[in-house]
Structure 1
Amino acid sequence: MALRSGRIVQAMAQSWPEAQRFLRQYGTISGGQPKYAVTCPGQGSSGGGLLAPFKKFQHHFQQLLEAVDEQLQENFSKHLIDHGAHEEWMGRTSNSQPAILTTTYVIHEILRKEYGIDLSQHAAIKYMLGHSLGQYTAMALTGVIDLAPAVSLVRKRGLLMERIAESRDYDLIAVLFRSSAYDEVLLACQKANVLANINSYDQLVLSGTRAHIDETIRAINSPKKKILKKVSLAQKVPFHNEVLRPIEAELGSFAPVPREGSKPIIANLTGSVETRDILSSSIQSISRPVRWTESVEYALQHDATSFINLGPDTVLQNINTKFTPNNVSISDPYAMDQFARSFSSSTDGA
């Protein structure tokens, strides 16, 4: 059964017992051991020295960093390990994309080696999904592609995007509104060809030229204001906009041959499990919106009860909490330790 606009949001706004009853009605809480979907972040997660908090575990992942440096033919990993001013470096999407993918992959490697938890193989994990860039991380974690070619692929993805972005004054803007206005705002953004991410029933991300986005927002807010807040995001690339369609073929020619993954991946392109070729689906989604709301609801309607948000920052946890309170991030060593303890106790025998 498809969940209509705002129903999950409304249920989560009530008490947790009421939310539990709501979710059980749709088959998403079994009352037994939890079943998880693992999410991987996109470029909303950024900042320099992403792996600096994990330095004490470097013996677990040094070989991975060396492999990434060799693949990219530069000392890429120093920007991940060292504290310091990396904002300008991370401001380039050709750097931030491989940086976030590598960091998320390394965090999982630490979890695997330090705590013996392999999310890519564990029976309690039902799905993997990633937000935009995060879908490439999900492919690397599940073995669809190896880490080194995945890093090369997203570096190329970023370079191609930068080439397009140089030609116009592009912007990326998150807009927030009441869930009751969702259908109207969504339709207007679709018609204006500025829709990049459908994050939740009260948040979209728009991409395109700054002038066109501003014009679209003004039209939506006339005669009655519907968009309550807008936030200009750091990256000035028209992510998931049709202007990026010309780079899809070139990126596809650069892609490695995919393998069957260890877990089903819910695709940004369709909001459901991709049963044919998740790598091709990922490349096609470059110029099409991220259907995150549908992706999260698909997981909840198909046996997942909880989300594990793996990777730097807590952006996805903030979004996914709008759908279910069963939601935890593994973004720093303390959070990882707390997760490992609770996960091991809740999945004994899984």
Structure 2
Amino acid sequence: MTTTFAFIFPGQGSQFIGMGKDLAEAYPAAREVFEIVDASLQQDLSRLIWEGTDDELKLTANTQPALMAVSLAAIRALQSEGVSLDQAAFVAGHSLGEYSALAASGAIELADAARILRIRGNAMQAAVPAGEGAMAALLGATPEQAVALCELGRAEGGICEIANDNAPGQIVISGSKAAVELAASKTGEVGIKKAMMLPVSAPFHCSMMQPAADEMMSALSDIEIKAPVVPLIANVTAAPTSDPAEIRGHLIEQVCGQVRWRESVEFMVSQGIELTVEAGAGKVLSVMNRRTAKEIEGLTLGTPEDIESVAKRLG
């Protein structure tokens, strides 16, 4: 019996030193991905990924192309085992993972994806001076409670917006430091258990990122986007699209827009998705998805052993 599945691609926070090295050693197709990314960035990024320091890898401008490279290496390794990407019903990625999804599905060339993510990482880092923005995770909050809390945070004129709706009870807010800290101090007023300030370098996915969105509009106008071989479930709409112009627009909106991951998973389930295959580093999304839909099975695609077992399952 055929399983209806989607390929999903992780975002920032999943990275670790050494990720993807065993894939590159085991699969020539995976090794080639790292070679193309290194050449397109004119940097030995693969060496940084495998032998560098956490601090280097954590720099947004390195993290973004690095995670995409590992995701694509996993996909190419799986393809070399005879699994075709168009066996999936959808692709979806969390934040920068959306670029990995588009590269995997043939909508963006691998070298272009690496270059655009380097630009995106630098632009997001530069959009807000250090120390002026903040993000906080709300534990046990509903979307309605998060909206109410953001209103309290904005009471003194700062920016406070929902950045990520990841899963039930797992919402992240983003904005100006004063407004997010004010919101975090008022969780009890709207019935939220707790807010945890996050150790991030910038307030991602909020309107303070507008300078980065403007830069991405310019950068994305220079690259070709084709229709993906299977529809992409976009972060900003939680709905499928295969239209290149629409995809380009969504990628620009995504810089300031909310990552609607919970709704994306709910949409997948509504379309009969029984299984997700998380391509790349770690299993953050697979664990998160179970909070949204207990019935959805999650497989990971990060090691040669994973490649073999997933190829057997999907073959």
Please, what TM-score do these two structures have when normalized by structure 1?
0.80
Q: 2:174 matched to which residue of 1?
A: 207
CA contact (8 A) 2:31 2:73 kept: no
Equivalent residue letter for 2:198: S
**Counterpart code for 1:131:** H
Please give the TM-score of this superposition, normalised by the length of structure 2: 0.89
- For residues 131 and 244 of structure 1, what CA distance do their matches in structure 2 show? 17
2:22 partner letter? P
Shift of 1:271: 0.9
Aligned-pair distance for 1:244?
Answer: 0.7
Letter in 2 for 1:263: V
Which residue number in structure 1 is paired with residue 213 of structure 2? 248
Check 1:171–1:190 CA distance in 2 against 1; reply closer, same or farther (3 A cut): closer
Tell whether the 8 Å contact from 2:174 to 2:203 is kept in structure 1 after alignment: yes
**Counterpart position of 1:27:** none
| AA of the residue aligned to 1:245 | Q
Q: State how far apart, in whole Å, the 2-side matches of 1:249 and 1:232 are.
A: 26
Shift of 1:261: 1.1
1:152 paired with 2:115, answer yes
Cα distance in 2 for partners of 1:332, 1:173 equals 32
> What is the deviation of 1:310?
1.4
Amino acid at match of 1:249: D
Distance in 2 of aligned mates of 1:257 and 1:189: 40
The aligned residue for residue 72 of structure 2 is 105
Identical positions, percent? 25
Q: Which residue of 1 aligns with 2:92?
A: 129
Take 1:67 and 1:52, find their aligned partners in 2: how far apart are those partners? 15
Partner-residue secondary structure (3-state), 1:263:
coil
One-letter amino acid matched to 1:292: W
In structure 2, the residue matched to 1:62 is 31
Tell me the equivalent position of 2:299.
328
Letter of the 1:106 counterpart: A
Q: Give the Cα–Cα distance (whole angstroms) in 1 for the partners of residues 149 and 11 of structure 2.
A: 21
Residue 277 of structure 2 aligns to a residue whose secondary structure is: strand
Aligned length: 302
How far residue 248 of structure 1 moved from its aligned partner, in angstroms, is 1.6
The aligned amino acid for 1:278 is: I
Instruction: Kindly provide the CA deviation profile for residues 12-39 of structure 1, in whole angstroms up to 9, marking residues without a partner as x.
Output: xxxxxxxxxxxxxxxxxxxx53201111
Answer yes or no: is the 8 Å Cα contact 2:206–2:255 preserved in 1.
yes
1:37 aligns with 2:6: yes
Q: Which runs of 5+ in 1 are unaligned?
A: 1-31, 345-350
Match of 1:49 in 2: 18
Residues 71-123 of structure 1 deviation map (CA, whole Å, 9 limit, x = unaligned):
1112222123x34x42111121010000001110011111111x2112x222x
- Structure number, greater radius of gyration: 1
Does the CA contact (< 8 Å) of 2:64 and 2:121 recur in 1?
Answer: yes
Q: Distance in 2 between matches of 1:209 and 1:245?
A: 13
Contact kept in structure 2, 1:49 and 1:86, CA below 8 Å: no
Q: Which runs of 5+ in 2 are unaligned?
A: 155-159
Query: Which residue, 239, 251, 270 being the options, matches 1:282?
Result: 251
Task: Tell me, in whole angstroms, the C-alpha distance in 2 between the residues paired with 1:314 and 1:90.
Answer: 18
Match of 1:262 in 2: 229
